[in-house]
Amino acid sequence: MTTLQIIFLIIAAITLVSACLVVMTRKIMHAALWLVLSLMGVAMVYATLQSGFYAVVQILVYIGAISTLIIFAVMMTRNVMEDVGPQSNRGWGLAMVGSLILFAGFSTVLLTWDKVQTNLLEIPAINGENIQMLGLALVDPMGFLIPFEVASVLLLAALVAAIFLTSDIKRSRS
């Protein structure tokens, strides 16, 4: 067991425990805070995959923006300050059984397939150059220019939609 493996196991354990607490805790605000912790764990896993850029982007986008948005929405849609009663609906047993069967299926396939047992070593050629190549690929007409532009149109549409849905414009009744 190398140091990196021990670190990965600790990060994975923290992330999975926080994710379980997200879906099982009673108070919705605590669930939002545990979500922040599990997203931070996922960012650290990206860092072990030599995608340091995506680790930082994960913290910036998910924790800085999306988690803040979720916390705002949680605070704005509560009737009282306390959450009482069970937070799971009637079919939670079936959902638990289904998820466990799915996970068992995944693990069986992944543990017996010999191609994915390869060790991921550190690639020396990557460090530092792939950000520039990513930028070049995003604006290359032979590369990924069209998905880039479509993503920006999608963001514009989401922006306009979110503002319209939550604005209090009183429409006249016909």
- Which listed residue (84, 144, 172, 174) binds another protein by CB under 8 A? 144
Show contacts with another protein in window 150-169 (CB under 8 A): 151, 154-155, 157-159, 161-162, 165-166
Min CB(141)–another protein separation in Å: 14
SS3 state of residue 78: coil
> Total binding residues for another protein by CB under 8 A?
107
Are the C-beta atoms of 37 and 14 separated by less than 8 Å? yes
Min CB(13)–another protein separation in Å: 10
| Packing angle of the helix pair 130-139, 145-166 (nearest 10 deg) | 80
Q: What angle do CA 104, 106, 112 make, to 5 degrees?
A: 100
Complex with another protein: residue 52 or 141, whichever CB lies closer: 52
Are the C-beta atoms of 32 and 71 separated by less than 8 Å? yes
State the Cα–Cα distance between residues 40 and 60, nearest whole angstrom: 10
Show contacts with another protein in window 3-42 (CB under 8 A): 4-5, 8, 12, 15-16, 19-20, 22-23, 28-33, 35-36, 38-39, 42
State the Cα–Cα distance between residues 45 and 56, nearest whole angstrom: 11
Q: φ and ψ at 122, to 5 degrees?
A: -80, 130
Min CB(159)–another protein separation in Å: 8
Binding flags for another protein, 82-121, as an x/- string (CB under 8 A): ----xxxx-xx-xxx-xxx-xx--xx--xx-x--xxxxxx
Complex with another protein: residue 91 or 141, whichever CB lies closer: 91
Min CB(126)–another protein separation in Å: 7
Are the C-beta atoms of 43 and 59 separated by less than 8 Å? yes
Min CB(51)–another protein separation in Å: 5
Please name the residue that has the structure tokens 């998905």. 147
- Which listed residue (10, 62, 80, 170) binds another protein by CB under 8 A? 62
